[in-house]
Amino acid sequence: MSEKYDVIVVGAGNAGLVAAATTAKNGLKTLLLEKHNLPGGCATSFRRGRFEFEPSLHELASVGDKEHPDTVYKIFDNLGATVDWRYEHNTFRAIVKGCDGYDVTLQAGIDPFCDAMEAAVPGCRASVHRLFEYYPKVTDALAYITRMKGKPNGLVMITKHADFMKIASHSVEDVMKSLGIPEKARNIINTYWGYLGVPTDELNCMHFLNMLYSYVVHGAAMPYKRSHELSLSLAKVILDAGGEIRYNSEATEFLYDGNGAVCGVVANGETLFAKEVISNVIPHNVFNMSDPKNIPETDLKLANARTFGISVSTIYLGLDCSMEELGIHDYTVFVMTDANPRKQYDDRKNKSLYIVNCLNKVIPDSSPEGTCTMFFTMPTFGCDVPKDLKPEDYKKYKNRLAEEYIEDYEKLMGIDMRSHIEEISIATPVTFARYLGTPEGTIYGYALSGWDNILGRISCEKDEYTIKGLSFCGGHAFRGDGYSSAYVTGDTIGHRVVNSIKGGN
């Protein structure tokens, strides 16, 4: 036995960092292993010339501020991690092209949001507001279910939480229709589906409502120094608490004891033992690093039953003109060819939906004076990458993709970006497969579609993840994807492991 830790966390993504910070801060001897030379996974930054780009974060939900701290703010605050938050007060601008199209900008805050909706779709205000009114009912019910450790009393549910039962078991579209929200208003609000990767006729309404509310109530927050600031602030907590972080240290094998419990990992050829292992790595990869005889049938079937979540293609532009000179006024713009989320999803290879962000709107000095950055995001699945694409044609493929989207946006906005491109970087699911190592380059773990929704994941977690000594956190875990969900799973799993070890179980 070379070394014994209380906890080994595999993967320093958002969830892994919070999990390791939580266990280290609670006095557990913690080792965090990361295969890259930087922490963060998606939450990082990269430099090209005089620009430092945000690679993945569009808007961090559930932050709030000192006076009104929301979940993410509290997680960082409790750990003692400091972040210089900057806020954006518009939620988004949605542009649907064509004669039936629209161009709507929505503000944060429930009332301003509803007012803007009313202006865009006269008569919809009351029904939209009603949607938000259900949010407290959802949180009450979830708190009750959590208190009951996932085994709520049926009678209490039916008498007290009937609305929750309806919202939690229907799609966004079903719930919105029943509330009488007109189609156009639904489409505008549901622009957000792109952040969850599942179109709203399939997306569970409870989950969507949580996300919608968290964006609308406080607006979105961004770290001043890109996501790298988030990750380094958490790394500092781990180190200050006596935890150890090893970069360039990819776990290559998960080790099991005679009773089928995980007891350690192999990284860089070194065998490392721990009482508990927390994996920020997706179960698919963990199972591929495990002796198959140790994978229980239930866990294996769950993995096989699931489909991978969405990935993205992205374009990062460093421009040698300011956003004002360019003629850009918004932080987040969604561009769509059809107002309907399902159509956007099905037709995604034809520029049916893309998101354009200009960070200078939120953080004016996020690039040198007289410059700005633009960040395009196109929802893409790993399986959308052409099967016959050869390595030698990949760069041309990327450039063609970028050129099409840049031209499309230039035409739409009547601006010239092309002649100002000082730096450019283009990523596809191949890039995310490279950096994250996930199957198909998924950034969202498992799709939250249909049956594999959040409530099912939370309710069934104990029955479905049966390997002792091993817990999972991250976008693939019980809370689904997105930075805030990842932080929540890291926090939950971190505390669970602290209790398990300190409780002597």
Q: Are 376 and 328 in contact (CB under 8 A)?
A: no
| Residue numbers 111-140 binding another protein by CB under 8 A | 126-127, 130, 134
**Alpha carbon distance 401, 349 (integer Å):** 10
| Residue numbers 331-370 binding another protein by CB under 8 A | none
Minimum CB distance to another protein, residue 51 (Å) = 11
Minimum CB distance to another protein, residue 263 (Å) = 20
| Residue numbers 295-314 binding another protein by CB under 8 A | 297-298, 300-305, 311
Query: Binding segment for another protein among 117-125, 234-242, 340-348, 350-358 (CB under 8 A)?
Result: 234-242
Query: Binding segment for another protein among 183-191, 221-229, 335-343, 496-504 (CB under 8 A)?
Result: 221-229
Residue with tokens 């949010």: 135
Q: Are 344 and 187 in contact (CB under 8 A)?
A: no
Query: Binding segment for another protein among 101-109, 168-176, 346-354, 466-474 (CB under 8 A)?
Result: 168-176
Residue closer to another protein by CB (options 93, 476) is 476
Residue closer to another protein by CB (options 94, 359) is 359
Residue 51: φ, ψ to 5°:
-110, 145
Minimum CB distance to another protein, residue 105 (Å) = 27
Residue closer to another protein by CB (options 127, 471) is 127
Minimum CB distance to another protein, residue 338 (Å) = 26
Which of 23, 279, 285, 373 touches another protein (CB under 8 A)? 285
**Alpha carbon distance 303, 167 (integer Å):** 27
| Residue numbers 381-440 binding another protein by CB under 8 A | 382-383, 385-387, 389, 391-392, 394-395, 399, 402-403, 406, 418, 420-424, 428-434, 437-440
Q: Number of residues interacting with another protein: please give it, by CB under 8 A.
A: 101
Residue closer to another protein by CB (options 288, 499) is 288
**Alpha carbon distance 331, 467 (integer Å):** 44
SS3 for 53?
strand
Is residue 162 involved in binding another protein (CB under 8 A)?
yes
**Alpha carbon distance 117, 106 (integer Å):** 7
Tell me the two tokens of residue 362: 């939120």
Residue closer to another protein by CB (options 143, 165) is 165
Question: Can you point out the beta strands (E) in 297-438?
Answer: 311-319, 332-336, 353-357, 372-380, 421-427
Query: Binding segment for another protein among 67-75, 104-112, 193-201, 445-453 (CB under 8 A)?
Result: 445-453
| Residue numbers 49-88 binding another protein by CB under 8 A | 49-50, 52
**Alpha carbon distance 74, 497 (integer Å):** 19
Residue closer to another protein by CB (options 109, 456) is 456
Which of 178, 252, 350, 499 touches another protein (CB under 8 A)? 178
Q: What does DSSP assign to residue 319?
A: E
Query: Binding segment for another protein among 59-67, 91-99, 110-118, 238-246 (CB under 8 A)?
Result: 238-246
Minimum CB distance to another protein, residue 339 (Å) = 21
| Residue numbers 179-218 binding another protein by CB under 8 A | 179-180
Q: Measure Cα distances from 277 to 52, 133, 272, 444, 495 in Å.
A: 34, 41, 10, 22, 13
Residue closer to another protein by CB (options 358, 498) is 358
Q: Give the H or E element holding residue 137.
A: helix 135-147
Distance of CA 195 to the CA centre of its chain: 8
Which of 48, 125, 343, 468 touches another protein (CB under 8 A)? 48
Is residue 279 involved in binding another protein (CB under 8 A)?
no
**Alpha carbon distance 250, 265 (integer Å):** 10
Which of 168, 196, 265, 278 touches another protein (CB under 8 A)? 168
Is residue 235 involved in binding another protein (CB under 8 A)?
yes
Closest CA to 16 of 337, 299, 238, 249: 238
**Alpha carbon distance 426, 394 (integer Å):** 11
Helices (H), 54-109: 71-79
Q: For the chain, what's the residue count?
A: 505
For CA atoms 419, 360, 435, 292, give the dihedral sign: negative
* Residue 483 one-letter amino acid: Y
